[in-house]
Amino acid sequence: MNDPQTLVDAYFDAIRRKDADAWADCFAADATAHDPANAPPRVGREAQRAFLAGVTALFHALDFRPRRVFPCGPSVAVYFSAHCVANNGQAVEVEGIDCFELDEEGRIRQVLGYWDPSPLFAAAA
The CATH number assigned to the domain holding 15 equals: 3.10.450.50
pLDDT (tens place) for every residue of the chain, 125 residues total: 678 999 999 999 999 999 999 999 999 999 999 999 999 999 999 999 999 999 999 999 999 999 999 999 999 999 999 999 999 999 999 999 999 999 999 999 999 999 999 999 999 99
Which residue range forms the structural domain that includes residue 98? Answer: 4-124
DSSP letters, 80-118, are: EEEEEEETTS-EEEEEEEEEEEE-TTS-EEEEEEES--H
User: Is the whole model's pTM more than 0.85, yes or no?
Assistant: yes
When divided into structural domains, the chain yields a total of: 1
